[in-house]
Structure 1
Amino acid sequence: MTQNLFLPLGYCLEFWAAGDGFFRFNIDGKTVWQARSFAIHPEFFSYHHREACEVTVVTNAPNAVLWAYGYQPQTVNETGITVFEFSDKGILQRTGAEIEDWLRSDPDRPTLHFSPIRHWMNDPVGLCKIDEIWHLFYQFHPSGSDWGPMHWGHATSRDLVNWLHMPVFLHPEQNLWRLGATGGAFSGNAFRDRDGSLMFFYTERLPAYDLFKGYREIQKIARPDRRMIKAEGIVTVLEQRPDGVEHDFRDPKVWWDDAANAYRMILGASIEGDPAVLLFGSGDGLDWQYLRPLYRAPVTFRQEGARAVECPDFFPLEDKWVLVMGFVGHVEPRTRRRNLLYALVGELINDAFVPDTSELQLLDFGTDYYAMQSFEADGRQIAFAWLFNWEYRKPEGSSYSGELSLPRALSLSEDKKKLLMLPVIEVAERYAADPVVEDKSGKFSLPKAPIEIRLSGPLEGSKLVATQGGELAFEVNVAEGVLSIRLAQDDGSIQYVAELGGGKDLRLFHDHGIVEIFADGGTVCGTRRGYANIEPDHLEISSSASAQVIERNLR
């Protein structure tokens, strides 16, 4: 394949490739950059164009290019990346709205929920707002649509709804594909220091050959370049694990603690087999000392399969402190749900977290709201989570895998004993609301679009059944104070349920197989991701509450 392209001064092309073949750039018949031969394993390549002129791209293996994009550093924050697709027919380029139109042409891709252009995505990381721009980072595997060596993908937004896709921000410290290993740049958080400087704390999993034991995890700091395009100045700040802590030692959340007049960090881990959250302290943000366990789970969690806490979150909210934890490997005996997310509300006193109650609050009864990360911006605590839980996999053949939840605003209940979650106001402001059903039960046809269902009033006895071609898409019930959901893929072996009590409001979003439920003012939430019958055409509502169905699309 040979094709001429005009590239502006300073243009960057980045790509991952594997397999037999070569790749080069020629200017006026002379080679200015080349990869003489691709390796059998994926490798990362980067070309920086030094003058505004036409270049000739030459390759004998266009299909060896796994993921490619270009950008101009001076303008990428306004335009996002340009996606390059290589084939025997030439190079196809897409930018901005062209990318969005292309993504929306995929009938199986959700439209209200963020997803990568291609390949694998999991945990949201490094979430922050800088001036008027929201920054979303996420764990990303750039060479395939299954989990692999982790990088940080990046997207930006001005409204938490419309996203620009940006260059890959952070890479593993070495090529793990070459080693036949996994690992790489795992989860972490954005931290704004007292002098205004921004840094990202994160875990690097060193080359790993077993997913469950024997790996090594260390903590690092990365600083963004002046344009927020790439991580630079990466340093290791914590390698030593406390006694009793094995391989799981990850996912930092860092803050400046006024009471201690020092930096504080939590990490997810286990202590002698019990899932735990560990607290570390530092005077300069670089040298860290282990202080104590912030939380250690009851022994029942270990007995029920929990290996460790991962992706812990800890933040002040309305004069309380909130701890959020996922217990990886845990199977709840009664319902058989896996890897549930829990919260505790309490006080932080002299580096000790004192929960108001020892009873863990189940944050999401559906299980597909996982690896939640929250951050403070503009006086709000906002959270995203990964919509996936390993129980069901995306069907083969898709160009990507992984979506994120709707952004949620966090608050406390009136008595300040529970954490509440509701969609941010931007969801209602930025997605058009076209009424489908107003104030009644019955059977209704549905548009081929995302919908929101609202019930207002007594929920006991309510039932929502959505079908596609007569086959179940999803079913939601409220019976004897218990809220439940069932998808087409469910065989009854796992029960997705939550105690609702006397809740009198429910909002349900459905978006191409994603169901997000918010009930009782956000006290009860449930998230599921299904892959069968994802475009329901009929809905039956049976409820004494007032019912409303709204079609939701981007304005």
Structure 2
Amino acid sequence: MMKQNLFLPAGYRLEFWAAGNGFFRISIDGKTVWQVPSFATHPEFFTYHHSEACEVTIVTNAPGGVLWAYGYQHQTVNETGITVFEFSEEGILQRTGAEIKDWLRSVPDRPALHFSPIRHWMNDPVGLCKIGELWHLFYQFHPAGGDWGPMHWGHAASRDLVNWLHMPVFLHPEQNLWRLGATGGAFSGNAFLDRDGRLMFFYTERLPAYDLFEGYREVQKIAYPDRRMIKAEAIVTVLEQRPDGVEHDFRDPKVWWDDAANAYRMILGASIEGDPAVLLFGSGDGLDWQYIRPLYRAPVNFRQEGARAVECPDFLRLGDKWVLVMGFVGHVEPRTQRHNLLYALIGEFNEDHFVPDTPELQLLDFGTDYYAMQSFEADGRQIAFAWLFNWEYRKPEGSSYSGEMSLPRVLSLSEDKKRLLMLPVIEVDGHYAADPVIENQSGQYSLPKAPIEIRLAGPLEGSKLVATKGGELAFEVSVADGILLIRLAEDDGSIHYVAELGEAKDLRLFHDCGIVEIFADGGAVCGTRRGYVNIDPDRLEISTTAAARVLERH
């Protein structure tokens, strides 16, 4: 039995998910004001709103049944974030703001530079936007466990794209999928600011699903946020009918206002008669949508090589060019055995037709662990996040969370407009202090127990970077015959993580507790890997004719 007295201010809200055999009761002056008489065997969501500032008594006979809990006040949550409640037989431990940050930093296997959830499973970034002075990062979230499950939208806010406040869960599935023994829920989508300044979030709801590969229904919805961006206060279904030839994969909307058409446009990831595709829809009011045509249909080899559909498509304008970004779920590249790669096409968009400048797809990240990228425009920049996930190996058991975000990247075009470039936002340099560790070129060096950045400037051919932990490999990056390669401790050689370099004169590498992000050729070549073995290397061997620097980031 756990019993604890707490002072709660007026307007305070406690939210939690719980399951198992137990009860939960809140009383004031010995009188019960709110209770859950009995937890269900499946997870359920509960919320308590406290009206008058006073002391309450919280009692539960199953503190371990509370899976995820936090509290907040509407008026101050954008400044303080949530207060995390940790329930145990000894009582309730509360952490807010800097206390949460210090707590998370104390976990030895948690990256410091990359955003991660406090608890449980996280995947795709969604609904990215900047409103006023606040950057908003939403993400797919399973609040009841460390594995993928019924999807919600988690939420974090920042004033600098680096330091994040954890916020209340923003969006829930339309029904309790745990109770049904089903999966699905609030899937991916984008933030859209209408011409009248009204913010809305277009997203996909996967209705109760019992198979991960077929037979499910996906519909498109709009979620309207409350005035403080804490909760979705209204939800409207706007598109249910799939075009002919489209089966179950029909998701991840990207919506924009098209000046040329004087109407709204939406793309969705799907497949047409088995070919991965991006579908284009139009609307005069943003509510009633009509299918226009396929914006892009993948060559037949993608279907033959296992691709089920396009996921998380992005369509953005950079200068006078349009860029289509796509992930092909299930695809395995025959030559390297890499899968679920991310590609881009650059071209023209006129009268609802996208015409690529070349049919050749640009590989956006050669490491495979950079997936479900979403970009948004703010302050004159196109900024992107992606989900970091190792498709071959899972996070070790016992971790309190699963999933990280990439460093935020700025998207631009090369001078000849033939390649999409990605580089870390300037805020990364501005807010993570970098102390030089190594200023020489080649040699062996000790590494600090902290994130590092390695910079090579000059000819990269023949360069090799090898980081080890106690003599065992952590990661290796090399350039030979114009090919950039990365290898992690887990790699057995069956998959080749490689990319062709162009000028091969510059490289930046970030290492953060098992995450490696590489930017070469001015951001024209990027590679991201997420490993779980030897994640805190203590030695680095550099062999290069380029000028080399290693910076400690903290």
Shared fold, TM over 0.5 = yes
SS in 2 for 1:428: helix
Aligned to 1:297: 298
Q: Distance in 1 between matches of 2:400 and 2:88?
A: 16
Q: Conserved in 1, the CA contact under 8 Å of 2:388 and 2:405?
A: yes
Q: What is the deviation of 1:440?
A: 1.6
Q: Distance in 1 between matches of 2:440 and 2:236?
A: 58
Instruction: Write the mapping of 1:90-129 to structure 2, written as runs, cut at 5 A.
Output: 90-129=91-130
Aligned to 2:333: 332
Letter of the structure 2 residue corresponding to residue 254 of structure 1: V
Q: For 1:45-73, what per-residue CA distance to the aligned partner results, in whole angstroms no more than 9, with x for missing partners? A: 00000100000001111110000000011
SS in 2 for 1:186: strand
Letter of the structure 2 residue corresponding to residue 167 of structure 1: P
Q: Conserved in 2, the CA contact under 8 Å of 1:14 and 1:46?
A: yes
Q: What is the deviation of 1:390?
A: 2.4
Letter of the structure 2 residue corresponding to residue 202 of structure 1: Y
Q: Conserved in 2, the CA contact under 8 Å of 1:438 and 1:549?
A: yes
Q: Distance in 2 between matches of 1:86 and 1:535?
A: 31
Q: Conserved in 2, the CA contact under 8 Å of 1:482 and 1:501?
A: no
Q: What is the deviation of 1:199?
A: 0.1
Aligned to 1:223: 224
Aligned to 2:350: 349
Aligned to 2:483: 482
Q: Conserved in 2, the CA contact under 8 Å of 1:68 and 1:83?
A: yes
TM-score (ref. length: structure 2): 1.00
Q: What is the deviation of 1:391?
A: 1.9
Q: Distance in 2 between matches of 1:44 and 1:306?
A: 36
Q: Distance in 2 between matches of 1:439 and 1:261?
A: 57
SS in 2 for 1:397: coil
Instruction: Write the mapping of 1:126-205 to structure 2, written as runs, cut at 5 A.
Output: 126-205=127-206
Q: Conserved in 2, the CA contact under 8 Å of 1:309 and 1:325?
A: yes
Q: Conserved in 2, the CA contact under 8 Å of 1:108 and 1:512?
A: yes
Q: What is the deviation of 1:392?
A: 1.4
Aligned to 1:82: 83
Q: Distance in 2 between matches of 1:392 and 1:379?
A: 38
SS in 2 for 1:396: coil
SS in 2 for 1:102: helix
Structure 2 unaligned blocks of 5 or more: none
SS in 2 for 1:98: helix
Q: State the identity as a percent.
A: 86
SS in 2 for 1:74: coil
**Does 2:388 match 1:414?**
no
Q: Once superposed, what is the RMSD of the aligned Cα atoms?
A: 0.5
Q: Distance in 2 between matches of 1:421 and 1:389?
A: 21
Q: Distance in 1 between matches of 2:434 and 2:122?
A: 29
Q: Conserved in 1, the CA contact under 8 Å of 2:390 and 2:531?
A: no
SS in 2 for 1:411: strand
Aligned to 1:454: 455
Letter of the structure 1 residue corresponding to residue 146 of structure 2: S
**Does 2:243 match 1:256?**
no
Aligned to 1:495: 496
Aligned to 1:30: 31
Aligned to 2:236: 235
Q: Distance in 2 between matches of 1:549 and 1:60?
A: 52
Q: Conserved in 2, the CA contact under 8 Å of 1:322 and 1:346?
A: yes
Q: For 1:11-65, what per-residue CA distance to the aligned partner results, in whole angstroms no more than 9, with x for missing partners? A: 0000000000100100111110000000000000000001000000011111100
Letter of the structure 1 residue corresponding to residue 137 of structure 2: L
**Does 2:17 match 1:48?**
no
Aligned to 1:21: 22
SS in 1 for 2:187: strand
Q: For 1:423-462, what per-residue CA distance to the aligned partner results, in whole angstroms no more than 9, with x for missing partners? A: 0000000000100011421110000000000000000000
Instruction: Write the mapping of 1:536-555 to structure 2, written as runs, cut at 5 A.
Output: 536-553=537-554
Q: Distance in 2 between matches of 1:277 and 1:502?
A: 33
Aligned to 2:310: 309
Q: Distance in 1 between matches of 2:332 and 2:413?
A: 27
Q: For 1:280-332, what per-residue CA distance to the aligned partner results, in whole angstroms no more than 9, with x for missing partners? A: 00000000000000000000000000000000000100210000000000000
Q: Conserved in 2, the CA contact under 8 Å of 1:339 and 1:389?
A: no
SS in 1 for 2:404: coil
Aligned to 1:400: 401
Deviating above 6 A after TM superposition, structure 1's stretches of 4 or more consecutive aligned residues are none
SS in 2 for 1:241: coil
SS in 2 for 1:260: coil
Structure 1 unaligned blocks of 5 or more: none
Q: Distance in 2 between matches of 1:424 and 1:85?
A: 34
Q: Distance in 1 between matches of 2:428 and 2:173?
A: 34
Letter of the structure 2 residue corresponding to residue 88 of structure 1: E
Aligned to 1:515: 516
Q: Distance in 1 between matches of 2:61 and 2:426?
A: 50
Q: Distance in 2 between matches of 1:501 and 1:524?
A: 9
Letter of the structure 1 residue corresponding to residue 312 of structure 2: C
SS in 1 for 2:405: coil
Q: What is the deviation of 1:502?
A: 2.5
Letter of the structure 1 residue corresponding to residue 226 of structure 2: D
Q: What is the deviation of 1:245?
A: 0.1
Q: Distance in 2 between matches of 1:494 and 1:106?
A: 31
Q: Distance in 2 between matches of 1:316 and 1:517?
A: 25
**Does 2:402 match 1:383?**
no
SS in 2 for 1:21: coil
Q: Conserved in 1, the CA contact under 8 Å of 2:454 and 2:549?
A: yes
Q: What is the deviation of 1:501?
A: 3.0
Letter of the structure 2 residue corresponding to residue 471 of structure 1: E
Q: For 1:257-291, what per-residue CA distance to the aligned partner results, in whole angstroms no more than 9, with x for missing partners? A: 00000000000000000000000000000000000
SS in 2 for 1:78: helix
Q: Conserved in 2, the CA contact under 8 Å of 1:153 and 1:170?
A: yes
Q: What is the deviation of 1:382?
A: 0.2
Aligned to 1:244: 245
Q: Distance in 2 between matches of 1:452 and 1:361?
A: 26
Q: Conserved in 2, the CA contact under 8 Å of 1:20 and 1:37?
A: yes
Q: For 1:174-205, what per-residue CA distance to the aligned partner results, in whole angstroms no more than 9, with x for missing partners? A: 00000000000000000000000000000000
Letter of the structure 1 residue corresponding to residue 447 of structure 2: L
Aligned to 2:7: 6
Q: What is the deviation of 1:466?
A: 0.3
Q: What is the deviation of 1:389?
A: 4.2
Q: Distance in 2 between matches of 1:279 and 1:3?
A: 55
Q: Distance in 1 between matches of 2:162 and 2:60?
A: 38
Letter of the structure 2 residue corresponding to residue 462 of structure 1: S
Q: Distance in 2 between matches of 1:235 and 1:196?
A: 18
Q: Conserved in 1, the CA contact under 8 Å of 2:390 and 2:529?
A: no
SS in 1 for 2:433: strand
Q: What is the deviation of 1:503?
A: 1.6
Q: Distance in 1 between matches of 2:146 and 2:59?
A: 27
Letter of the structure 1 residue corresponding to residue 270 of structure 2: A
SS in 2 for 1:235: strand
Q: Conserved in 2, the CA contact under 8 Å of 1:370 and 1:389?
A: no
Q: Distance in 1 between matches of 2:470 and 2:177?
A: 46
Letter of the structure 2 residue corresponding to residue 343 of structure 1: A
